[in-house]
Amino acid sequence: MLQTLPQHLQIAKVLHSELEKVEVIFSRQLESELPFVNELTAHVERYRGKMLRPTLLLLTAMAVEGDPCDGSSISARHRTIATVLEMIHMATLVHDDVLDEADFRRRGATVSSLRGNEMAVMLGDYLISNAFHLCSTEGESSLNELIGSVTNMVCEGELLQLSNRDNFDLDTRTYYEILERKTAVLVGACCRLGAVISNAPDAVVDAADRFGCGLGVAFQIQDDLLDLMEDRDTVGKSTGRDLDTGKLTLPVLLYLKKASLEERAEMLRILESRENAAMRRVLVDSGAVAAAYARAEDLVSQAKEELAAFPDSSARHLLQALADAVVTRRS
Amino acid sequence: MLQTLPQHLQIAKVLHSELEKVEVIFSRQLESELPFVNELTAHVERYRGKMLRPTLLLLTAMAVEGDPCDGSSISARHRTIATVLEMIHMATLVHDDVLDEADFRRRGATVSSLRGNEMAVMLGDYLISNAFHLCSTEGESSLNELIGSVTNMVCEGELLQLSNRDNFDLDTRTYYEILERKTAVLVGACCRLGAVISNAPDAVVDAADRFGCGLGVAFQIQDDLLDLMEDRDTVGKSTGRDLDTGKLTLPVLLYLKKASLEERAEMLRILESRENAAMRRVLVDSGAVAAAYARAEDLVSQAKEELAAFPDSSARHLLQALADAVVTRRS
């Protein structure tokens, strides 16, 4: 590993500089003639987190090229589409805040709590609209079509989740279907598009998509575990929200699957009365949390196997490290 | 006029049959693998009103061709883009219901009152996403770009309106800017796109756009007048909502412009205490309602002058009649 370290430093530098360019495209696209709109979108910058989606697109593109991963393979189109995907992700965060009535996210007040639900709905719409507009400036409608079919599925996932609110009979198949549509398909599309724009062969494009999808599901399971386990100060956004909004998560499903009739009745009582601390205790003690965590780790392992489709390179190493980080992260 | 009557019947028949095709494309695009999503979108059909936007696109296309207006000039692309524009309009209706907390629209319960705000947000997103996806299936990214820049402006208009809620110092310039962005630009785009897809010369395309924009502003003024003047049973949706949500309308602005200090103070008291009947009385008696109505009529007259760019035809006659109907309609 040691001899690859300078290579890793080089690629981190390229990535950092490319992500800065993505931020510039992001801000420029949202610029409005209306000063009020600019004030509002400036607030969105506070939502910016790890920029996981642009990172995945850019790293996948570099992994297609292979070493020396000096960034020469990154084109303007990569940056534009990376920005489009981040903008779509931001829109879902803004609209999720309407959904979850969350008061905090990323340690800051949400748009909806500051300005009301109505402003949050319209700001999210403005982000979605700008994302599609930015995408179309590439002049390649197959990109719009691919991204449009992905966002169709994201919405279906959100609708499916809402329709299963407080459904204590939710089966794991439906649970995974929600995760796949709501989160994984978009993460998969980041990797797919990184490969597509780099003209990778079909087998590599499909492997990239499967890598991203697996990562996305694991990411969402870990998100739910953090919501269950962590305190607000660590996670930097509202916790215990899944319980409050009647969203069933993997540890609960795994617990209910094995529970006796009495255990099930007690868990339903806890769920209905929204007792997060009691729920956490039962799920930890029964091993359901550990089982959910193991499932996320499995998904990450399977995802990493897909990377065999790429040549060995420092970009591929970074994708592996990023996959591991999905389940070890604490916020 | 009499000798053109058979021609008008012919065009009405073509239009009816084309709008039916638009409805089929609309439903097919929204079809989901998830039965629950199909149930939800079936509910959206209840929002369907006059289909003004597809009608304008199709009639403009026929007006470009001129008589005999037998529908031979309508292509699959016209129908697809007409559907896209109707879908975007529906999305704004669904999200407006979140905005305005309206309980009734088109004599039916709204998605938000039936299923909660969160479902309405996601259903609106699903419509937006499908609209962009459908648009991209045409394989012509300039269409996506034009429609994306229009929806950017629609969102800006909505945001501008929200930011001026309860702003009793709103000037008429900002009022018209809200109307233009929120409503008129999309109606203008319907006429523009009808002309563009029919390969009309630039001068005709621009005239079509101005016709639609003028119509859109007049339409919105009339909408606000209906909200002020009519009872729920006639309009078929919640009335008095503008007042409830602190949205200032043209009659109020015209009244405040000419009001004495005492009159102004009394109107602000009425606005703050949300007394719709008292407001209606003052605005009617002072002539402010008549002045707003006259403004809408002026806009329609100006819009109709743009139609001179088209050859004389029965489609052009129908566009004129449609423009007149915007200010004479009662729902």
CB A319 within 8 A of CB A60: yes
Tally Cβ neighbours within 10 Å of residue A16: 9
- Given a cut of 50, whether residue A97 has pLDDT beyond it is yes
From the list A309, A307, A312, the residue with the least C-alpha distance to A323 is A307
Contact of A269 with chain B, judged by CB distance below 8 Å, is answered with no
Residue B193 has pLDDT above 60, yes or no: yes
Query: A314-328 and A202-229 helices cross at what angle (nearest 10)?
Result: 30
Cα separation, B169 vs B161, in Å, equals 13
Quick check: A95 pLDDT over 80?
yes
Q: Which residues contact B33 (CB under 8 A, 6 or more apart)?
A: A156
* Residues of chain B found within 8 Å of residue A33, distances taken between Cβ atoms: 156
Chain A residues with CB under 8 Å of B154 CB are 129
Q: Residue A105 pLDDT more than 70?
A: no
Q: Given an 8 Å threshold on Cβ–Cβ distance, is B40 in contact with A121?
A: no
Helices (H), chain B: 5-30, 35-44, 52-65, 76-100, 111-115, 117-136, 141-163, 172-179, 185-197, 202-229, 232-235, 241-244, 250-258, 261-272, 276-285, 288-306, 314-328
- Residue B103 confidence class, pLDDT cut points 50, 70, 90: very low
Q: Which residue has the higher pLDDT, B6 or B175?
A: B175
Task: Return the number of other C-beta atoms located less than 10 Å from residue B321's C-beta.
Answer: 12
- Note whether A56 and A191 are within 8 A (CB): yes
Judging contacts by C-beta atoms under 8 Å, the chain A residues touching residue B162 are: 116, 118-119, 122
Tell me which residue of A190, A312, A172 sits closest to A252, measured CA to CA: A172
Confidence at A220, pLDDT banded by 50, 70, 90 = very high
pLDDT digits (tens, 9 = 90+) for B37-64: 999 998 887 777 789 999 999 999 999 9
Amino acid type, A216: G
| Average of per-residue pLDDT values in chain B | 90
User: What does the pLDDT look like over B115-173, one tens digit per residue?
Assistant: 678 888 999 999 999 999 999 999 999 999 999 999 999 999 999 999 998 898 999 99
- Whether chain B has a CB inside 8 Å of the CB on A297: the answer is no
Ramachandran category for residue B274: left, alpha or beta (phi over 0 → left; psi -120 to 50 → alpha): left
- The residue among B130 and A114 whose pLDDT is bigger is B130
Q: Mean pLDDT across chain A, nearest whole number?
A: 90
Reduced to 3 states (helix: H, G, I; strand: E, B; else coil), residue B92 is helix
Backbone angles phi, psi at B105, to 5 degrees: -150, 135
Interface predicted TM-score (ipTM) over 0.90 = yes
Say whether B105 sits in a helix, a strand or coil.
Answer: strand
CA gap B35, A108 in Å, rounded: 38
| Three-state secondary structure call for residue B259 | coil
Q: Among A125, A136, A145, whose Cβ lies nearest the Cβ of B148?
A: A136
Lowest mean pLDDT across A259-263, B116-120, B201-205: B116-120
**B128/A160 Cβ within 8 A:** no
**CB atoms near residue B193 (< 10 Å):** 29
Nearest Cα to B224, choosing from B150, B164, B159, B283?
B283
- Other CB atoms within a 10 A radius of the CB of residue A77 amount to 17
Nearest CB to A162; choose among B118, B159, B163: B118
pLDDT band for position B230 (cuts 50, 70, 90): confident
Q: Does A184 touch chain B (CB under 8 A)?
A: no
Amino acid at B153: M
B174 close to A (CB below 8 A):
no
What residue of A is the nearest CA neighbor of B158? A122
Q: Does B312 touch chain A (CB under 8 A)?
A: no
With a CB cutoff of 8 Å and minimum separation 6, the contacts of B289 are B225, B228, B229, B251, B283
End-to-end Cα, chain A, rounded Å: 27
SS3 letters for B266-318?
HHHHHHHCCCHHHHHHHHHHCCHHHHHHHHHHHHHHHHHHHHHHCCCCHHHHH
Does residue A103 have a pLDDT over 50? Answer: no
Q: Which domain holds residue A99?
A: 2-328
At B192, list the tokens.
């523009």
Cα-trace Rg, chain A? 20
Write the CB contacts of B291 (distance below 8 Å, at least 6 apart in sequence).
Answer: B251, B254
The per-residue pLDDT for range A21-56, each reduced to its tens digit, is: 999 999 999 999 999 999 999 888 777 778 999 999
The reported pLDDT for the residue numbered B232 is: 53
Mode of pairing for the β-strands spanning A108-109 and A104-105: antiparallel
Q: Report the alpha-carbon angle A100-A29-A318, nearest 5.
A: 70
Q: Spell out the SS3 assignment of chain A.
A: CHHHHHHHHHHHHHHHHHHHHHHHHHHHHHCCCCHHHHHHHHHHHHHCCCCHHHHHHHHHHHHHHCCCCCCCCCCHHHHHHHHHHHHHHHHHHHHHHHHHCCCEECCEECHHHHHCHHHHHHHHHHHHHHHHHHHHCCCCHHHHHHHHHHHHHHHHHHHHHHHCCCCCCCCHHHHHHHHHHHHHHHHHHHHHHHHHHCCCCHHHHHHHHHHHHHHHHHHHHHHHHHHHHCCHHHHCCCCCHHHHCCCCCHHHHHHHHHCCHHHHHHHHHHHHCCCHHHHHHHHHHCCHHHHHHHHHHHHHHHHHHHHHHCCCCHHHHHHHHHHHHHHHCCC
Q: How confident is the model over B61-74, as a mean pLDDT?
A: 91
Subunit contact A117:B98, Cβ cutoff 8 A: yes
pLDDT score recorded for residue A297: 97
Chain A interface test: which of B31, B114, B122, B154 (most A C-beta within 10 Å): B122
**A68-82, B183-197, B234-248: range with lowest mean pLDDT:** B234-248
Among candidates A267, A254, A225, A262, which has minimal Cα distance to A242?
A225
Nearest CA in chain A to B33: A156
Residue B81 forms contact with A (CB below 8 Å): no
Q: Which two tokens stand for residue A128?
A: 């979605």
Kindly list the residues from chain A whose CB atom is less than 8 angstroms away from the CB atom of residue B158: 122, 125
B101 — pLDDT class (breaks 50, 70, 90): very low
Residues A124, A44: Cα–Cα separation, whole Å:
10
Pairing assessment for the beta strands B108-109 and B104-105 based on DSSP bridges: antiparallel
Does residue B132 sit at the A interface (CB-CB below 8 Å)?
yes
pLDDT at A87: 97
Range in A185-199, A316-330, B114-128, B291-305 the model is least confident about: B114-128
Query: Which of B59-63, B81-85, B242-246, B321-325 is least confident?
Result: B242-246
Specify the DSSP element, H or E, that contains B109: strand B108-109
Residue A176: phi and psi, rounded to 5, are: -65, -35
Quick check: helix, strand or coil at residue B50?
coil
Kindly report the CATH number assigned to the domain that includes residue A244.
1.10.600.10
Residue of A nearest to B101 (CA): A118
The secondary structure of residue B70, as a DSSP letter, is -
Residue with tokens 């690859």: A4
Rounded to whole angstroms, the Cα distance separating A264 from A172 reads: 16
Q: Under a CB-based contact definition with an 8 Å cutoff, are residues B316 and B50 in contact?
A: no
H or E segment at B51?
Answer: none
Residues in Cβ contact with A87 at an 8 Å cutoff, skipping those fewer than 6 apart: A26, A29, A127, A128, A130, A131, A134
Classify burial at B63, counting beta carbons within 10 Å of its beta carbon; exposed 0-12, middle 13-18, buried 19 or more. Answer: buried
- Under 8 Å between Cβ of A327 and A222: yes
Please give the pLDDT value at position B238: 58
The predicted pLDDT at position B165 comes to 87
Our count of domains for chain A comes to: 1
**Amino acid, res. A131:** A
Q: What percent of chain B has pLDDT over 90?
A: 71
- Residue-level pLDDT at A247: 85
Quick one: average pLDDT of A256-273?
94
Q: Do B125 and A158 touch (CB under 8 A)?
A: yes
Q: Across the interface, do B95 and A121 touch by the CB < 8 Å criterion?
A: yes
- Per-residue pLDDT tens for A287-317? 999 999 999 999 999 999 999 999 999 999 9
Statement: residue B105 has pLDDT above 70: no
Over 70: is that where the pLDDT of A265 sits?
Answer: yes
Q: What is the pLDDT of residue A315?
A: 94
Of A95, A126, A141, which is closest to B136 when you measure between CB atoms? A141
